[in-house]
Amino acid sequence: MTNGKPIRILIVDNHSLVREAMTRLINIQSDMEVVAEAANGKMAVDTFENTSPDVTLMDLSMPVMNGIDAVRTIRQNHPDARVIMLSAYDFPEDIHKSTIAGASAYLLKDTARDKLIRVIRDVHQGQKFL
């Protein structure tokens, strides 16, 4: 928690089951709350503007606008935005593009839940994991 307030999180993934699972995992943490969800990068940009989350969990591959373009767009207007990129693949090119776009971390979707929670807290505090 920051000043007694939970870490506000936006979850972006085109799979509703993934969003629901992450929301449940995060909302059981006493220092975190999911404030919004989005199903694609375009929705992520709009939702970010409306909710100003502390940390965004962003899927890399989505329809309409991919995660890299969404991070880039968000960071243009909010240079301090903290985004954790999530992907099923650990391709060096994707990691590099995510870094250039402004992601604070890059995690694989098979990351253990304890590590995901720890990285959310660390990224919220300004650390990077790429």
pLDDT in tens, 104-127: 999 999 999 999 999 999 999 998
Question: In the sheet that 83-87 helps form, which strands lie side by side, from edge to edge?
Answer: 32-38, 7-12, 55-59, 83-87, 105-108
Structural contact between residues 53 and 28, judged by C-beta atoms closer than 8 angstroms? no
pLDDT at 45: 97
Domain that holds residue 51: 7-124
Does some domain include residue 37?
Answer: yes
Give pLDDT tens digits for 48-65.
999 999 999 999 999 899
User: What does the longest C-alpha to C-alpha distance in the chain come to?
Assistant: 39
| Predicted confidence (pLDDT) at residue 2 exceeds the cutoff of 80 | no
Residue 1 has pLDDT above 60, yes or no: no
Nearest to 22 by CA among 121, 113, 85: 113
Predicted TM-score (pTM) of this structure: 0.93
| Structural domain contains residue 2 | no
Alpha-carbon Rg of the chain, whole angstroms?
13
Report the distance separating Cα 63 and Cα 38, nearest Å. Answer: 12
| Domain CATH code at residue 98 | 3.40.50.2300
Tally the domains of the chain: 1
Q: Is residue 130 part of a domain?
A: no
pLDDT tens-place string over residues 6-48 = 999 999 999 999 999 999 999 999 999 999 999 999 999 999 9
Tell me 129's DSSP state: B
Check: CB of residue 102 under 8 Å from CB of residue 89.
Answer: no
